Chain A
Amino acid sequence: MKNKITERRKELKITQQELADTVDVARQTIISLEQGRYNPSLKLANAITKALKVKHIEDLFELENGGD
């Protein structure tokens, strides 16, 4: 799954730690998400979408071709 977390986070001038604290996960989890090494649950994806003030989850997360 691709995502635009890094770009949106930088637009809002939020650090990885601040985002992690807002959605109640470890900073390492945010790092793994931004590097595309971890796919979040729907609950976490929704929380990140709200924290980054994005209207729709699909604007922030995108399933890659052939994904489940």
Chain B
Amino acid sequence: MIGKPEWFKRRKYTGWGITPKTWQGWVYVAVFVTLIIGFHTIPTLDNTTRTIGTGLWLLVLGIDSIDIMIHLKKDERNYLHEAISERNAAWYMVIVLALGIAYQGISSGLQQRLYVDPILLIALFGGLAIKAGSNIYLDRKD
């Protein structure tokens, strides 16, 4: 793709994703931002074209970012630290989701109108499915 993994490093303390590590990484970010801003300053474009163009540009950026993240160089200690920190974050999110679902279910149930936000259910059970699928894959891989 466009960006090279050696220009970036994994975000550890400020969320998920990647952040520039070398001057080439910062140039990559600056070029992407400048081009999208420049695109929006073209006066002859209508809103539909701007929206489609922006969407396509963000799609390219998203795919390139994922490609970079997949190919980021990590040694065994990096893998271990990433696994532990992501596990801790996942556990926190699961607990909050479960508490949120329980709260919504109980409070709406007490009003005789059981309701739980489907996004919360999708997040919790989707995560469960991903965990199960990952374990199945890892067991077979071993």
List chain A positions with a Cβ less than 8 A from chain B.
Answer: 24-26, 28-29, 32, 38, 40-41, 44
Which of B75, B76, B77, B78 has the largest count of A CB atoms less than 10 A from its CB?
B77
In the bound complex, residues from chain B placing their C-beta under 8 Å from that of A32 are: 77
Q: Which residues of A contact B77 (CB under 8 A)?
A: 25-26, 28-29, 32, 38
- Shortest CB-to-CB span from A18 to chain B, Å, is 15
Closest residue of chain B to A28 (Cβ to Cβ) is B77
B75 and A41: CB pair below 8 A?
Answer: no
B78's nearest neighbour on chain A, judged by CB, is A26
**Beta-carbon contacts under 8 Å, B25-82 to A:** 75-78
Expressed in whole angstroms, the Cα–Cα distance for A32 and B76 within the complex equals 12
Inter-chain contacts of A38 with B (CB < 8 A):
77
Whether A26 pairs with B76 at a CB distance below 8 angstroms is: no
Taken together as a complex, chains A and B put the C-alpha atoms of A26 and B75 apart, in Å, by 7
